[in-house]
Amino acid sequence: MIGGVDMPETNNIVIVGAQWGDEGKGKVIDHLAAGADVVARFQGGDNAGHTVVYGANVFKLHHIPSGILNPSTLCLLGNGMVINPLVLVQELTELEKRGIDTANLRISAKAHLVLVYHQDLDEANETFLGEKKIGTTRRGIGPAYADKVLRRGIRAIDMTGIDSFHDRLSEVLPLQNRILREIYNHSGYDLAELVEFYRPALERLGPLVTDVALLLDEQIAAGKKVLFEGAQGALLDIDHGTYPFVTSSSTVAAAASSGTGLGVRHLTQVLGVLKAYTTRVGEGPFPSEDSSEAGDLLRQLGNEYGTTTGRPRRCGWFDAVIARYAARINGLTGLAVTKLDVLSGMEIINMAVAYQYRGQKIRNFPMSIEELDQCTPVYETFPGWDEDLSRVRRFGDLPEAARQYLKAIEEAVGVKVELVSVGPDRSQTIICPGSPLTTWISKNG
């Protein structure tokens, strides 16, 4: 009872990337979605690429929450997202062709749209920057968020009627065209043609648009369990990441509240997903990057190629400095360590436990990339193991050296490891003894 009002007991989990993205969030979310009534995305757009594997089925999701593969799960796209209507329709069509029921998807009326001119601007900005480019996914994410903040965005509510889409576009297109023509040497877009171009997508998506914040509140009041699906990772956060080599949204757990319209007190657990090593796609600093054979081996064994762009991912060792930082800015209550299987066969495993900065050993993540550029990792070395981990399903069955490595991660980060992933398949997952996730997965937990 709070202030005379009966409060339902909440049991919700926010899942966030704790490195530079691609940590295996899709896999972990799909596994935990077994216990969820609702899965909600709260930021990002189709820059995200979340892979879910079960048996021979491989799904690569960009907007749609990984919970969609469970027919009874309500899947929500929150107001914090930027949605490309054309790509979302493609994703829905692809899932339906493969026999997946998508009837449970809803879109926040307040989510913003990524339109063709945003992609043009993303492309043009990157080309203009040349060597200094961010290495974006060129999906128009930055320009769409910029328009949102500049109060000239088009929102999902504008998809509910062709007339409102036309009217809103007529207000913003003249300026977009002027920018495209005068700065970027682009011919611009005709209003009527653009409206017609989007008509089929609007007709498909308009009926899915609703008040997601209200829906979530009703779900919580009815005692339903919600999983919040983060995209990207802590080091790509617009405020806390390696700016300017970041994405354009807030990727940390707090954004699950502002990005869906649900109050913060409903966010109970925060699970940070980390690879047992580190990868980054795109430009920007990466202290524990390994440009020698070890990095190549990690790329090869971990199949480290981008889900969205196919770019080879830069690879390196686990960096406990960034993991500690991610734990702090997200308020992590638990860790999910993925791709532990990829380390099998490594003679030794390095872990960056601190940085050397101007002759001093520092343990906290620096304030700027200029400082970060002057940091070199201080490695601690752990013995490897030869055993194949892909069939291990119980924590106690992991080789001693693998358990010691996980313990070292736990100690260096100061947060318990609750889940270990030993392969891409849904079943290749270990929930650690004593973890609250054990009860969460059972629907009534």
Q: Interface with ligand GDP by CB under 6 A: which residues?
A: 17, 21-27, 49-51, 53, 307, 338-339, 341-342, 421-424
Stretch that binds ligand IMO, among 168-176, 227-235, 318-326, 425-433 (CB under 6 A): 227-235
Tell me the closest approach of the beta carbon of residue 420 to ligand GDP, in angstroms.
Answer: 8
Active site residue 50: yes
Could you say which of 49, 230, 272, 424 contacts Mg ion (CB under 5 A)?
Answer: 49
Question: Which helix (DSSP H) or strand (DSSP E) does residue 202 occupy?
Answer: helix 191-205
Q: Which of residues 239-258 bind ligand IMO (CB under 6 A)?
A: 247-248
Q: Applying CB under 6 A, which part among 29-37, 139-147, 160-168, 220-228 lies near ligand IMO?
A: 139-147
* CA–CA gap between residue 445 and residue 317 (Å, rounded): 36
Choose the catalytic residue: 22, 37, 147, 319.
22
In the bound complex, what is the minimum distance in angstroms from residue 162's beta carbon to ligand IMO?
29
Distance in Å, CB of 431 to ligand IMO, minimum: 22
- What is the enclosing helix (H) or strand (E) of 299? helix 293-301
Q: Does 259 bind ligand IMO (CB under 6 A)?
A: no
Burial of 436: CB neighbours in 10 Å, binned 0-12, 13-18, 19+: middle
C-beta of residue 39 within 8 angstroms of C-beta of residue 78 = no
Give the DSSP per-residue string, 98-122.
TT---TTEEEETTPEEP-HHHHHHH
- What is the radius of gyration, based on Cα positions, of the chain? 22
Instruction: Answer with the entry of Mg ion, ligand IMO, ligand GDP, none that 282 interacts with (C-beta below 5 to 8 A by kind).
Output: ligand IMO
Instruction: For residue 272, state whether it binds Mg ion (rule: CB under 5 A).
Output: no
Taking contact as CB under 5 A, which single stretch among the options 33-41, 45-53, 277-285, 405-413 is the one that binds Mg ion? Answer: 45-53
Q: Decide whether 210 or 307 has the Cβ nearer to Mg ion.
A: 307
Place of tokens 């989007």: 198
Could you give the CA distance from residue 89 to residue 199 in angstroms, rounded to a whole number? 12
The H or E element containing residue 59 is strand 57-61
Told to judge if 22 belongs to the known catalytic residues of this protein, a careful annotator would answer: yes
**Among candidate residues 242, 221, 247, the one with its CA nearest the CA of residue 287:** 242
Choose the stretch contacting ligand IMO; rule: CB under 6 A; options: 63-71, 230-238, 269-277, 345-353: 230-238
Region 34-63 residues binding ligand IMO, contact defined as CB under 6 A: 47-50
Which amino acid belongs to residue 188?
G
Catalytic residue from among 31, 50, 62, 63: 50
Q: What's the closest the beta carbon of residue 422 comes to ligand GDP, in angstroms?
A: 6
Shortest Å, Cβ 220 to ligand GDP: 25
Q: Measured in Å, how far apart are the chain's first and last C-alpha atoms?
A: 21
Which of 80/282 has CB closer to ligand IMO?
Answer: 282
Residue 51 vs 219, nearer CB to ligand GDP: 51
Helix, coil or strand: residue 304: coil
Cis bond before residue 244 (omega within 30° of 0)? yes
Identify the bridge partners of residue 41 per DSSP, sorted by sequence position: 77, 229
Contacts from 179-186 at CB under 8 Å and sequence distance 24+?
179/121, 180/117, 180/120, 180/121, 183/124, 184/120, 184/121, 184/124, 186/120, 186/124
Rule CB under 6 A: say whether 137 interacts with ligand IMO.
yes
Place of tokens 């879109």: 107
β-bridge partners, 383: 348
Least spacing, CB of residue 25 vs ligand IMO, in Å? 6
Q: Is 350 in the site for ligand IMO (CB under 6 A)?
A: no
Torsion angles phi and psi, residue 22, rounded to 5: 60, 30
Task: Return the one option of ligand GDP, Mg ion, ligand IMO, none that residue 339 interacts with (CB less than 5 to 8 A, by type).
Answer: ligand GDP
As a whole number of angstroms, the distance between CA 101 and CA 210 comes to 19
Q: Check residue 64 for interaction with ligand IMO (CB under 6 A).
A: no
Q: How far is the CB of 225 from ligand GDP (least distance, A)?
A: 21
Largest separation between any pair of C-alpha atoms in the chain: 66
Query: Rule CB under 6 A: which residues touch ligand IMO?
Result: 17, 21-22, 47-50, 134-137, 139, 141-142, 231-233, 236, 247-248, 281-282, 307
Give me the active site residues, please.
Answer: 22, 50
